[in-house]
Amino acid sequence: MIIKITIDRIENDKAVLKTTDGYSIIWPKNKLPDKTHEGMILVFEVEEEKIMEIKNKKLAKDILNEILNTNS
């Protein structure tokens, strides 16, 4: 699941994030990308760990296949 979140405001060491459906999330500023600013849109991908692991393995295999120029 992909969730788009806007940085609503930054207060000291915390950021207030707003989801597209109006929810607010308080998040540590140091856990956000460098040069974070108000109004910036972030994309969060929420997946079960096992599903993410499968996706990462497939991505790694696809990259290796591209490097080796094979289709196996």
70: confidence class by pLDDT, cuts 50, 70, 90: low
**0.85 cut: is pTM over it?**
no
Residue whose structure tokens are 């929420």 = 46
Residue 45 has pLDDT above 80, yes or no: yes
Residue 32's SS3 state is coil
pLDDT at 27: 95
Query: What does the pLDDT read at residue 25?
Result: 94
The amino acid present at 7, given as its one-letter code, is I
d(Cα 45, Cα 60) in Å, to the nearest integer? 18
- 53 φ, ψ (degrees, to nearest 5): -65, -40
Count of domains forming the chain = 1
Q: Which domain holds residue 17?
A: 2-68
Q: Is 30 left (phi over 0), alpha (psi -120 to 50) or beta?
A: alpha
Q: How much is the average pLDDT of 25-33?
A: 94
CATH number at residue 25: 2.30.30
